[in-house]
């Protein structure tokens, strides 16, 4: 008799890390959204100070790579995908600013709320719009941690954007192509 053993693989877990003075209400609402989008557990760690050495006085911004290196120290298991959330503006040397950044090994990412808050000029409820942008950019960074690269589809959450107009134009979801690539990681129970 052949016994078919079902193989259960452990899912990844999302860990949110509030950095510096960040609105915990927003972090909580973000967590709730991420639970339903990725269908996995989301932990919120106690807040952490933004590493001082990440601050660039000349630019008045924080260097994301330095923050990523600090976040990596918090990681307690390979299942964890860590996302730091901060209110301050982030940069990398090759760009004026970034909404977020993720390391290449798929371990840690960081998201800045700074530029997502700009008021819209139309009829949207600004607070809802801000949360929606936050969710999209968080899903984008977590997508990188799951191995996804930028996607040419402007509606896909993995599409690269550097303006709010483009961010508002994409959805909070992965396109079918991107979804297929990460399905083995996010749908196994």
| Residues forming the site for Zn ion (CB under 5 A) | 151, 153, 156, 158, 175, 178
The values of phi and psi at residue 113, to 5°, are -90, -10
How many residues can be counted in the chain? 189
Phi and psi, residue 115, nearest 5°: -95, 0
Q: How far apart are CB 89 and Zn ion at their closest, in Å?
A: 27
Query: Closer to Zn ion at the Cβ: 89 or 172?
Result: 172
Nearer of residues 85 and 158 to Zn ion, judged by Cβ: 158
- Give the bridge partners for 108, in sequence order: 82
Write down the least CB distance from residue 62 to Zn ion, Å. 28
| Contacts of residue 163, Cβ cutoff 8 Å, sequence gap at least 6 | none
Least Cβ distance, residue 182 to Zn ion (angstroms): 10
Within 10 Å of residue 124's Cβ, how many Cβ atoms? Answer: 13
Give the residue with the Cβ less far from Zn ion, 109 or 175: 175
């Amino acid at each position: 008799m052949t016994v078919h053993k079902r193989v259960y693989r452990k899912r990844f877990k999302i860990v949110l890390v509030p950095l510096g003075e960040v609105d915990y209400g927003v972090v909580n609402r973000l967590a709730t959204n991420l639970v339903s989008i990725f269908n996995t557990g989301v932990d919120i760690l106690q807040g952490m100070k933004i590493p001082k050495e990440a601050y660039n006085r000349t630019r008045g911004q924080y260097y994301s790579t330095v923050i990523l290196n600090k976040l990596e120290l918090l990681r307690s298991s390979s299942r964890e995908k860590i996302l730091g959330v901060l209110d301050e503006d982030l940069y990398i040397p090759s760009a004026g600013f970034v909404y977020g950044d993720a390391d290449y090994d798929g371990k840690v990412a960081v998201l800045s709320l700074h530029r997502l808050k700009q008021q819209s000029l139309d009829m949207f409820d600004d607070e809802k719009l801000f949360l929606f942008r936050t969710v999209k950019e968080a899903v984008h960074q977590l997508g990188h941690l799951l191995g996804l690269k930028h996607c040419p589809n402007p509606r896909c959450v993995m599409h690269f954007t550097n303006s709010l107009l483009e961010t508002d134009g994409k959805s909070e979801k992965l396109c079918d192509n991107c979804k297929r690539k990460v399905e083995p990681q996010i749908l196994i129970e």
